[in-house]
Amino acid sequence: MPDDIWSKCSSCGAILYTKEDRRNLEVCIKCGHHARLSARKRLEYLADRNSFVELDAQLRSTDPLGWRDDEKGKYRDYLTKLRSKSKTGGPLEAIITGRCRILNVPVMLGVFDPTFMMGSMGSVVGEKIVRLMELAIQDRRPVVVLSASGGARMHEGIFSLMQLAKVSAAIARLGAERIPFISVLTDPTTGGVAASIAMQGDVIIAEPRALIGFAGPRVIEQTIKQKLPQGFQRSEFLLEHGMVDRIVPRAEMRDELARLLRNLGFGA
């Protein structure tokens, strides 16, 4: 039998029939764990069929610092290796942006891809987000961004860190133009992405049990020398403490986004 006929839940270890797991949007039927998805898979379940038009697909990260490390070698070579996987369906960058419809509501959509350098935000990711928001102002379309990121991309140093301010300025311009921005937090949303775009939505939604925060829980425990509360930095903890507006299971996300956008005055 083919090896891919079964899959295993990374949370509870349950053995799942792969076709059924995909029909369930890769949410474990045993424990409800929401598996991490590539950007392309998220687009399949979120955008109306044949409605997505990608923007700025030609933008590519460069190597402004000549970065190299002992584990992966030169950054530019690592980027080349990652992009070679695009021939088999892999991503070319850590975010995909474009125009689409969600249940017939026109939106500008950005989806982080954790399969490309853990969705880290470098100069190209920041530029694609800003261009998306500028077009949203021009076309008077709301913006939805789904985050899944380990944070700022250290390989680009200050060029990466400046994206936090750059995307924040673009969000402020959206607000001034009264264009709504809905931020969807998925597992994980951490580091510089959590400290900038992810937590600045007019409405902030999270998938269940997503890890959300700036520094990881182990780093925090080592720093403050204290044990953290149960469930710290998970969606439910953030909802309880007012950092997230609502938690929406993946199967309900499409309907919820369309309902919110219509309530905000967009779509039929």
- Residue 105, SS3? strand
For the entire predicted model, the pTM comes to 0.94
- Provide CB contacts within 8 A for 183, sequence distance 6+: 145, 147, 197, 198, 199, 200, 201, 203, 204, 205
* Residue 106: exposure state from Cβ atoms within 10 A (0-12, 13-18, ≥19): middle
Query: Strand 53-55 relative to strand 95-102: parallel, antiparallel, unpaired?
Result: antiparallel
Q: What is the pLDDT of residue 192?
A: 96
Q: Could you give the CA distance from residue 176 to residue 178 in angstroms, rounded to a whole number?
A: 5
Into which CATH architecture does domain 36-263 fall? Alpha-Beta Complex (3.90)
Domain boundaries defined on the chain = 1-35, 36-263
pLDDT tens track, the chain, 268 positions: 345 788 899 999 999 989 999 999 999 999 999 999 999 999 999 999 999 999 999 999 999 999 998 888 999 999 999 988 877 677 899 999 999 999 999 999 999 999 999 999 999 999 999 999 999 999 999 999 999 999 999 999 999 999 999 999 999 999 999 999 999 999 999 999 999 999 999 999 999 999 999 998 888 999 999 999 989 999 999 999 999 999 999 999 999 999 999 999 997 6
What confidence score (pLDDT) does residue 217 get?
A: 85
The 10 Å Cβ neighbour count of residue 51 is 16
pLDDT (0 to 100) of residue 54: 97
- Which residue type occupies 37? L
